[in-house]
Every structure is written in structure tokens, then in C-alpha cells.
Structure 1
Amino acid sequence: MEIRRLTFEHAARCAELEELLFPGDNPWPRDIFVVEFAQPTNLYLGVFDGDDLLAYGGISQLGPRHDPEFEIHTIGVDPEHRRRGLGRLLMDQFMQLADGLDGEVFLEVRTDNEAAIAMYEAFDFRIIGERRRYYQPSGADAFTMKRASGSERRGV
């Protein structure tokens, strides 16, 4: 398996996976991925087995480079390849980026997605709030989670 940066040619596969993973919550179409990939502040990575995209994720850097914060936009794993640590591989990459610039990281996750919440907590994310009816059209609630910057976590 290999982690590579996603390009426009991967947008259709990402949209296909979104349909499988988030059918009741406005899965992103191909065109949204194309726009996301084009943003200079975004980094989208995929886990590949040969040419097969098995998992994808995106992070955005916000704020100035000397004092950044980051936001995880999405993480998705092909249902046939879950429980193999693919989401963790992507999170490792994203957390290395954030730690390299000493930035805090935010994300939203469905309150009923226990597996994702456990993974995020393993990366030192903590629940800091709840957004009622965040996901549409399902109306599912989301937790907002935050991972403190490296210097904050070390008490510096």
C-alpha cells in the first residue's frame, strides 16, 4: 500500500466512496472534490493498493503560517477495507503536517460514529462541543473535536 496526493483524476472515485459511506448526508459529488483538490490550503491524500484508491482524506490549513490551525475536511475508507488501519495512516500524515507547524486541529464527527471518535481520541482529539442537526438531510448531530497544538500538549 502507498499514500499519495490525490489529483483531479481521483475525484470520481472519491465521490463513489462518498455515496457508499455517507448516503443520507449529502455525499460530495465529483465536482466538489475537484474544487477541494484545487485549493492551495488543502491537502488531500489517498491510500492506494496499486491503482485502487481504498481510502481518502483531506485537511485544510487556516490562518497565517506562523500561527496556523487545521481542519480535517473528510476521511473515508472503502467499506470492504475497513479495520485495516487505513484511516489511521491518513491521520498520521495529517497530524505530522499539523505538528510540523505547531497547529491545533479541528474536525466534526457524527455523534454515533463510535469507531471514528475512538480513532480521533487516540490522536489526542477531545470533544469541545456539539452541533445539533449538523449533517443534512439526515439531521444527525456532530461533535466538534479539537487536538491542541504540539506545544500546548507538551505544556510549553
Structure 2
Amino acid sequence: MWKLLHKLKNAVLYDADREFYAKVFPNSVSSKDLLRLRKMDHSDLTAVLRIEALNYEFPWSAGVFKDCFQAMNYTNWVCEAPDDVIVGYCIISVAVGEAHIMNISVSPYFQRQGAGRKMLEHLIEYARSRAEKVFLEVRPSNPGAIDLYRQVGFREIGVRKGYYPAKNGREDAIMFELDLVPML
């Protein structure tokens, strides 16, 4: 029961205690703990598209993000810093007992500060009651993301040849899977 209450408290969008302690005792709260996730809405698209353009040579268009809003099985979030600056976003699709992480992206100005891990952990918890497995693809040229996925428990299950557009043609995708149902 207490574990559930603790999880609920951590899921609250605004935790005044954390912000108070961060101001009064700056070393007592990590920057990751001050980040909060909320559902993405259309007014977030400008910030999301800016992050997308900074991170990818072949970014998703506004139309792709708008399609993600309309798709029945997609759920979209933004990750905000305490000053309401959007530092990242994530999108997941859940259907027929499977979850697929479509995109996790963190502004280059906030990378390596825990936002990617926070969003990944959030997506996993979101999927836990809705799916048996979580899947994702990642570029081999993104070793930081690969390392994070492995740390969280994802395992490599294959390669999709020529999956991503690249400067000189196409780049493969490494496929990862995470079992959400404990093995007996």
C-alpha cells in the first residue's frame, strides 16, 4: 500500500516539497527528480519540433506529430523542467498486449541529466498494466541510448536493415525488447 502511495506521489505533476527543498537545499534533490511529465498537447508542438530538429538530421514533421495525437493507441508526453521549459518528449503506442516506444528525445541542452531515463521509466510503467512486452528501435550510431536501454533491462532481439534515413543512404535499426511479465 505504501509503495503504491509513493508511486502516486511521484506521479503528481507538481511537487512543491521537491521544489522547496531544491531551492533551500540545492544538493538534496537531483535535477531528474525535479522534472515532470505531462500529456503533450498541440500547443507544445513548437518546442517539440525544435528539439526534434536539433536532434535529428531527418526529423519528424509537424504532420507526423499531429498524426500521433489522432492515432487511437498512441500516447504522447512532454518532460518539463521546473521553469516549465520542455526538455524532451516521448511517444508510445500500445495495442494487442504490446507496447512500442515510438520516440524519446531530449533537448541537447538537457542531455545526460536524467530526462531520457525518466521518460523511459515512465513509458515502461505506463505500459506495464497494458502490455506484456515493450519494443523499440534505435540507431547503432546512438550508443548513449543503447546503453540506457540495456541498463533498464532491454535486450537486443534483431536488426532492421536500412530502417532509418541517413546522410549516405540508410542506417540499420537495432531492435530491443523488454518483458513486462515476470518469467516463472
Provide the TM-score with structure 1 as the length reference: 0.88
Per-residue deviation, 1:80: 0.6
Pairing of 1:4-153 with structure 2 (within 5 A): 4-23=38-57, 26-49=58-81, 50-63=83-96, 68-138=97-167, 139-149=170-180, 151=181
Q: Which runs of 5+ in 2 are unaligned?
A: 1-34
Larger radius of gyration: 2
Q: RCO greater where, 1 or 2, for CA within 8 Å and sep 6 or more?
A: 1
1:2-39 per-residue CA deviation (whole Å, 9 max, x = no partner) reads 2111011112221221111011xx21111211110222
The alignment-based identity, stated in percent, is: 27
1:80 aligned partner, one-letter code: Y
Select between 112-121 and 95-104 the one with higher mean Cα deviation: 95-104
Contact 1:14/1:30 (8 A) holds in 2: no
Per-residue deviation, 1:40: 2.5
Q: Distance in 1 between matches of 2:37 and 2:183?
A: 32
Per-residue deviation, 1:102: 4.4
Q: Distance in 1 between matches of 2:84 and 2:128?
A: 30
CA RMSD of aligned residues (A): 1.4
Aligned length: 147
Contact 2:99/2:131 (8 A) holds in 1: no
Indicate the structure with greater helix content.
2
Q: Which runs of 5+ in 1 are unaligned?
A: none
Partner of 1:136: helix, strand, or coil?
strand
